[in-house]
Structures are given as C-alpha cells and as structure tokens.
Amino acid sequence: MRSSSVEARVEALLAKMTLAEKIGQLWQGHQATSANLEKIRRGEVGSLLNVKAEDMLTCQRAAIEESRLGIPLIIGRDVIHGFHTVAPIPLGQAASFNPSTVRQGARMAAREAAAAGIHWTFTPMVDIARDPRWGRIAESLGEDPYLASILGAAMVRGFQGTDDATPRREGVPPGWENLSEPDSIAACVKHYVGYGAAEGGRDYNTTLIPESELRNVYLPPFLACIEAGAATLMSAFNDLNGIPTSGNVRTLRTILKEEWGFEGFVVSDWASIEEMIAHGYCEDHREAAFKAMRAGVDMEMYSPCYPDHLAALIESGEVPLGWLDDATRRILRVKFHLGLFDRDPATAINPQVSLSEDHRRIAYQSAVESCVLLKNDGLLPLGDRETIALIGPLADAPADQLGCWVPDGRAEDTTTVRTALEKRLGKAKVRFAPGLDYSNQTGQDGFSAALAAAREADKLLVVVGESAWLSGEAHSRAYLELPGSQQALIEALAGLGKPLAVVVMAGRPLVMNRWAAQVNAILWAWHPGTEGGAAIVDLIYGDQSPSGRLPVSFPETVGQVPIYYNKRNTGRPPREGQSGLPIGTPLDPCDFTSRYLDADFHPAYTFGYGLTYTTFVFSPVILSSDEMKPGSTLEARVTITNSGKRAGIAVPQLYLRDRSASLTRPVGELKGFQRIEIAPGESGDVVFEINEDHLRFYNEENQAVVEPGEFHLWIGADARCLLDSPVVFQLKF
C-alpha cells in the first residue's frame, strides 16, 4: 500500500531524472568534503553520512539550491544508543526487558539527532549474538530472537515517532505515519543477515547458517522491525553460505523485498559492495556493482562501484533499467515521507534540545533498568553512614562509561560513579584510588594507593570492566576475563577482608573466574551511558531496586562458547551432576554424553537471570487446558509472591518447547515476558495467552508450519526453569 500523493510525486520526479541523476541517488558519500560538494551540485549524491554539524546546511543547500532537480540529501549517522545524551549500550538496554524504556531512549535520540539536521540513523542492530568474543555483541539485543524482535521494534517506533496508538493512514506504509515530523528520523535495521554468527566470534568472519535456522533465529527480529515500519535496512559484511550478504539475491530480493514486501530501501554497509572482491565473489568493481544491484542493494555506502560502473552496466543491458528505477523510487519514497522536499533544512536545527533534564532522566532510567544484579550476599543496598573506598579504572571514566558507537557523546556531560558517590556522601566519606589508569593496564603500580584507600574505609566499591575501546566493531576478544591487572586488583582488595561490592562496566559477558567467589556483590552495568554513575549509585544505596535480567548467557569459560539457552537437546544430553571421565568404554558407552571433561556444561549465569533486593516465589503453572486445537488459545497462569522485605520487579518469562517435530527444536524458547512490581508480602497473578503463532517454526522446506504433538511450557524467573518439570499440553488437529 502506498500513499498516492507521495507515489505520484515520486513518479513525476523519476520521469524527469537523467540516468546520471538516478545513479546519483544510489550513492552515499562520507562527509561534506569539497569533492562531495561538487558531486552534490552535479546531482551525483543521494546521501551523506558523518557530516559535521557546521557542514549540515552547506551540503543540503548545495543539493536543494544548486543541483538541477534540487533533490534533498538524506543525511545519515550512527545514532546507536543516544546522540548527545547517551543511553546504555543496546545490550544493556536489552537487559531492561522493557520495550517502553527502550522506545523512550530511541525517541530521545531521534529528537536530539533531528535537531542537529540528521534524517536517518543506522540502527536498530538486531543481529542475534551468541558469542561474547564478538565485539559487536555490545550493539546487539542479545541471544534471543523474541526479545530482540520486541525491543528492535520498540526502537524503530521510537526513532520514527510511532506507538501502538498511532492511527494508520491510507496509503502510508505502516510505521511511516510520523516520519515527516521534525523530531522523527528514519530507522535502519541491520546488519542483514546473520552477521552475529561470525565464526570464532571474529568480526566480519564467515557465516554458515541453513535457511531454516536463518528463518527461525536470525530473520525474525528483522521482520519484526520491518513490520514496525523500519524505513531502511542495511546489508552486512559477512558472506552467508558462500554468498556475501551485500550481493545475496535470496535474502535481499527474494525474502526481504518479494516475500516480506519491504517498501523502503537497502543501504550497503561501509564498502561492503566493494569488499565482495576481497571475499572472492567478484572480479572487480564492475562485477561488484552488478551483483549488488542484482541482489537489490539500493544505495551504496562509501565505495565507488555504483557511480563508476552502473551507467555502463545499464547501457550494456546487463543491469535492467527497471532495477535502477526501483532503487531510485525507493530512495525518493523515503525522502518524500521524511518530508525532506517540504521543509527548509534550517528549521530543523535546534541545539537546545540536547541534554535536557528530561533526556537525562530518560538516560538515567534506562541505566537503572539495564543494570543486572548477579550476586548479593546481603551487602547491598549500602547504608549512607559508612566511609567508602571507591577503586577501579572505570569508577571515574566518563568516556569509557558511554561505551561504543558514541560519535556525539561527550565525556564532560557524563555523571560517573565517583561524581555521583561524592555528591551523595560528600568527598570526606569517599576514598578514591583507581588502582589502574585504564582497564587493560598491566602491572600493579597503583595497587598500594588503592589498598591504602581501602584500609581507611568501612566498605569497598570497585568499578572494573572494559574500556570502551575494547568493545564494538572490529574489537573481538579471544579471552573473556577482566583485561589487564583488574582481577589481581580485586583479589588484593578482597584480601583485606572488608565488605566488597564490584560493579562491572563492559560491552559483553565476561568470564569471572575465581574473583566472583571472593566478593560480596556483583552489579553488571554494561556501558551505562551519560547518567550511568547516578543510576549505579542509586541502585547500590537502594534508592532504586535492580530489575535487569541477562539478555545473553555468561559462559563459565571461553571454551564453552558459543553457549546460549535456546540450544538443541542432542541425542545424548548431559546429565546434571556428571563430571570427570566417562565411566563407559566404546564397548559399553555409558556416561558418554555431550559435556566437557574439564568444565560444566551450564553457563555461569543464564539468559533471563537477575537478582533483586527481594525474593519471589512462583506458584506452579496452571493451564486453562491440556489440549489446544488450531485457532484456539490456551492460558498459562502463575501467582508470584514477594517473599522478601522490599518491593521489587519480577520479570516472569514464558518458555515453550516443541517436544518432537520435523526438525529438532530448541530445549526451550522465550515466547513472552512481563514486568510486574510486587510489594513485600503481596502476590501478583501473571497470565500468558498461547496461540498457534507461538508454536510456529520453519521446517526443512523453509515453510512456516505448526505441527501437532506434545508441547512443554514453563513460566520462570530465568532460563534455568527449563531444568524443572514443564507443564504439558497437546496440540491436536
């Protein structure tokens, strides 16, 4: 369905365009260089990325006032988790399990970016990530397709200014209704597809994913974002089953455009079209241009294949004019719906929007909900009377606290843990000593000052983890321990025998090793953004209660990776309590199960896990029936009681398993979650409705099917509930 007025304007403009002007729309340049400005004036540029604030108006005016047809540029930028006001990294936001908070964070980012003249952000990133060695797990929404779908769609709505109440408009693609609002920006769901499955967790590496697995695990979040209205999509760097994703006809033209009916446009990731030469899939730029156009990549980011070769490919007939017109149409359609033809580029600019009190509050709330309490022997929350030794290289590290992909975040705007703690207790009651200058520093020169500070204090608060530069694109790690001498620092402090709480700021799960057993409490803060310090201190002192849950499994050791909760059972699942050498022999293979001789097969912390300052008791699950028929629904209900002394937020999670199907299915899959605040001593009922959609999967023929048979269901506090007995129902045709 398309808006007749917009489509009419698109067609009218397309009819006037020369071949060179159409090709110009398909190219995105980097920055407003003088060379790019000249190209803009010649109508050879459709978009720019990474334009400096001071160049915004110049380049847009060059396009509108000095090119023959005056087609505005669409200006893009990586506004990944905030613009000037920075929210936690997306992996941290995923830990909130709160689509409303995630949407608010995207709304905030859109307002600030739009006010700086930006029209388009290269996010949400919904690559399913099961390998914490991969640096870009930080930008992901974790290991679960359902959670990533819900939260990715929330981000799209936040950027594009819609919500569940937004009225549909005849002829306007769903989710595009408010694209032309001055504080909306176009979303770009990425990196399509399978990028997070890079072999060895090494960025840009090969991916081999059967289509049924693509459709059951990696594609659902992209479809959810398209259905939420993502106006654009970014193809990725990885080769998928031997075909680079930026030249992949099956995933782009067939699934995305034909099967899903995607109406926006596809932009390649940075030079990923040209990189098909390095992949060994193309001989040269000309072939790369052909294969990318054949696949349906509408706009080329940065590399020169389209500008240099498309005209010749069209003139030779190798590339049908229809492919070029379709790409041009899609790009113009988004520009018209963004209102770029109907607004003065100067009116959008308004630097006052950034870092408002309201935005700082949104960033603070997002950080509060993102933090996950992994351990607490009762030390937390702290009381205000004690003197605190604040130790660690991330305790007062404003730039690192912002995390990866913050081109517009500023260290000077950040509230660190130190700032917030000294504000709360007064400087006299805080003994600060970093111990190390940065996270991966080796040596122990700063330890004596740290130990001296600790000896003067009643309790110790240590903030460690990863500097921002150890996280994000092209920053994969083969070892997952705390980098540098941080583990030694924690152990030296633990040796003093004083109460010790550790806060970790990191862009991924880390392997704790023995230090976790030596401390009283662990709060995982990811990279918590501009107001992360204030959020952490308020959580540590109980003004806020921890409510985050893990969106990704934490391995016991890197040798377990990839490790994720929604795994398959295998024919020889490991048994609880098994350890050491199998006692069988090849002639009598007992105890031969899928496990390790030298490590547990469970993660250190599982998906969905997170402590609060209270305790919750889940009643057994009550099913409305033990039978389901096609078209019917089933109700699953539990009562959750707050058995502790403080209010808290429970995050009940619904998991389902298809016990036996035409493909082996995971031991459990998240199919629902809720957040419910319960006062001490009170109880709350939680109900989930189950229908066929929850049971559907893609079979070997890549068809979406629902198969009759036995299903298992759990409602639990985290994925460990899958180890308990399920309730069972039958789907009968």
What order do you get walking across the sheet with 727-731 strand by strand?
627-628, 727-731, 709-716, 653-658, 669-673
DSSP code for 604: S
Closer residue to ligand GLC, CB minimum distance, 84 or 190: 190
The two tokens of residue 657 are 């398993």
Residue of 27, 97, 122, 697 that binds ligand GLC (CB under 6 A): 122
Closer residue to ligand GLC, CB minimum distance, 270 or 281: 270
The answer for residues whose C-beta is within 8 angstroms of residue 690's C-beta and 6 or more apart is 628, 633, 634, 635, 636, 654, 656, 671, 713
- In whole angstroms, how close is the CB of 439 to ligand GLC at the nearest point? 23
Ranges assigned E (strand) in 644-722: 648-650, 653-658, 669-673, 676-678, 683-690, 697-698, 704-705, 709-716
The two tokens of residue 29 are 């340049």
Q: How far apart are CA 341 and CA 12, in angstroms?
A: 13
Closer residue to ligand GLC, CB minimum distance, 137 or 519: 137
- In whole angstroms, how close is the CB of 676 to ligand GLC at the nearest point? 35
- In whole angstroms, how close is the CB of 483 to ligand GLC at the nearest point? 23
Nearest Cα to Cα of residue 665 among 716, 699, 702, 713:
699
Q: How far apart are CA 144 and CA 128, in angstroms?
A: 7
- In whole angstroms, how close is the CB of 269 to ligand GLC at the nearest point? 5
Closer residue to ligand GLC, CB minimum distance, 49 or 297: 49
Pairing of strands 616-618, 27-30: unpaired
Closer residue to ligand GLC, CB minimum distance, 278 or 321: 278
The CB density around residue 570, as the number of other CB atoms within 10 Å, is 11
What mask of x and - would describe binding to ligand GLC in positions 641 to 680, judged by CB under 6 A? ----------------------------------------
Q: How far apart are CA 724 and CA 576, in angstroms?
A: 12
- Total residues contacting ligand GLC (rule CB under 6 A)? 7
Q: Under the criterion CB under 6 A, does residue 274 sit at the interface with ligand GLC?
A: no
Closer residue to ligand GLC, CB minimum distance, 49 or 713: 49
- In whole angstroms, how close is the CB of 303 to ligand GLC at the nearest point? 12
What mask of x and - would describe binding to ligand GLC in positions 474 to 503, judged by CB under 6 A? ------------------------------
Map the footprint of ligand GLC across residues 28-57, applying CB under 6 A: 49
**Helix residue ranges, H only, 89-192:** 90-94, 99-114, 145-160
**Active-site position among 131, 269, 396, 718:** 269
Residue of 239, 269, 300, 408 that binds ligand GLC (CB under 6 A): 269
- In whole angstroms, how close is the CB of 133 to ligand GLC at the nearest point? 17
3-state SS string for 536-574: HHHHHCCCCCCCCCCCCCECCCHHHCCCCCCCECCCCCC
Contact 649/612 with Cβ under 8 angstroms?
Answer: yes
Nearest Cα to Cα of residue 546 among 480, 612, 591:
612
What mask of x and - would describe binding to ligand GLC in positions 414 to 453, judged by CB under 6 A? ----------------------------------------
Closer residue to ligand GLC, CB minimum distance, 48 or 223: 48
The two tokens of residue 13 are 């403009």
- In whole angstroms, how close is the CB of 302 to ligand GLC at the nearest point? 8
Q: Report the SS3 class of residue 192.
A: strand
Nearest Cα to Cα of residue 603 among 561, 663, 649:
561
- In whole angstroms, how close is the CB of 235 to ligand GLC at the nearest point? 10
- In whole angstroms, how close is the CB of 225 to ligand GLC at the nearest point? 15
Closer residue to ligand GLC, CB minimum distance, 190 or 337: 190
Residue of 181, 473, 600, 692 that binds ligand GLC (CB under 6 A): 473
Indicate the residue whose CB is closest to ligand GLC: 122
Closer residue to ligand GLC, CB minimum distance, 13 or 48: 48
Q: Report the SS3 class of residue 504.
A: strand
**Helix residue ranges, H only, 439-505:** 447-455, 486-494
- Exposure class string for 694-713: b at 16+ Cβ within 10 A, else e: bbebbeeeeeeebbeeebbb
- In whole angstroms, how close is the CB of 122 to ligand GLC at the nearest point? 3
Chain centroid to CA 652: how far?
21
The two tokens of residue 505 are 């700021």
Active site residue 269: yes
- In whole angstroms, how close is the CB of 652 to ligand GLC at the nearest point? 34
- In whole angstroms, how close is the CB of 305 to ligand GLC at the nearest point? 16
Map the footprint of ligand GLC across residues 53-92, applying CB under 6 A: 78
Map the footprint of ligand GLC across residues 189-228, applying CB under 6 A: 190
Q: How far apart are CA 252 and CA 240, in angstroms?
A: 12
Residue of 270, 364, 607, 729 that binds ligand GLC (CB under 6 A): 270
Q: How far apart are CA 677 and CA 649, in angstroms?
A: 4
Contact 685/638 with Cβ under 8 angstroms?
Answer: yes
Map the footprint of ligand GLC across residues 280-299, applying CB under 6 A: none
The CB density around residue 456, as the number of other CB atoms within 10 Å, is 10
Closer residue to ligand GLC, CB minimum distance, 135 or 529: 135
Helix or strand holding residue 251 (H, E): none
Closer residue to ligand GLC, CB minimum distance, 67 or 160: 160
Chain centroid to CA 581: how far?
39
Phi, psi dihedrals of residue 555, rounded to the nearest 5°:
-70, 150
Residue with tokens 């979406």, as numbered in its chain: 704
The CB density around residue 527, as the number of other CB atoms within 10 Å, is 32
Closer residue to ligand GLC, CB minimum distance, 122 or 697: 122
Nearest Cα to Cα of residue 52 among 102, 108, 120, 118:
118
Q: What is the Cβ-side half-sphere exposure of residue 205, based on CA atoms within 13 angstroms?
A: 16
- In whole angstroms, how close is the CB of 203 to ligand GLC at the nearest point? 9
Q: How far apart are CA 19 and CA 306, in angstroms?
A: 12
The two tokens of residue 171 are 């002829």
Interaction site with ligand GLC (CB under 6 A):
49, 78, 122, 190, 269-270, 473
- The residues annotated as belonging to the active site are 269
